[in-house]
Amino acid sequence: MKIVVGLGNYGDKYAYTFHNMGFLTVECLADKLGLKFNKKECDALIAVGYRGGEKIILAKPWTYMNLSGVAVKQLMRKYKAQPSDLVVIFDDIDIPKASVRVRMKGSAGTHNGMRNIIAEIGTQDFARVRVGIGPRPERVPLVDYVLAEVPKAERQIFFDAFSVAADEAIKLIDGETTDGKTVQ
């Protein structure tokens, strides 16, 4: 069993913002695995499938970013998952734009969605795939930057990063450990 959660905010106004890297990556992952987001449960839109005989749940929480842990906790409870079954994909201001970094555990850093997940499930010992969105421009407040739309001129580098991040998530699903690996 693996639960792969992409973090983001629902709604058209957030679709291509820097804070939606997790949603966009988990959608790319669903395409690669041939899965469709077509089920609503546990405050999330989910896609369910199997890989190598193992059940896979892909999720996009509807709780908005800062309460992502609410949906994650519900999913883990429903599917009787352990933290080792969880992979979270999210944006990270602390790594360069369109870079991808994999970690098997760690703090939330400056990310409120990750802070909430850690608070709700009571541990930081779960895998994460981070898609870089940094650095933010000088004199732009963090909230304004992460909720800003990705400029069209930069979207292709992020689409490439989503594919790389999805491939890294597949490796985690398959049991390959890539802790601390910066991929792109």
Would residue 179 count as lying in a domain? no
d(CA 133, CA 96): 6
d(CA 18, CA 22): 9
Please tell me whether the overall predicted TM-score, pTM, comes out greater than 0.85 for this model: yes
Would residue 178 count as lying in a domain? no
Give the Cβ contact number of residue 108 at 10 Å: 16
Q: How many distinct structural domains can be found in the chain?
A: 1
Instruction: Give the domain extent around 162.
Output: 2-173
Q: Which residues are catalytic?
A: 19
pLDDT at 164 over 70: yes
Most distant CA pair in the chain, distance: 50
d(CA 100, CA 168): 9
Backbone angles phi, psi at 93, to 5 degrees: -70, -20
Is 1:79 a contact under the CB 8 Å cutoff? yes
Q: What is the CATH number of the domain that holds 141?
A: 3.40.50.1470
Would residue 182 count as lying in a domain? no
pLDDT tens digits for range 19-62: 999 999 999 999 999 999 999 999 999 999 999 999 999 999 99
Q: Count of residues for the chain?
A: 184
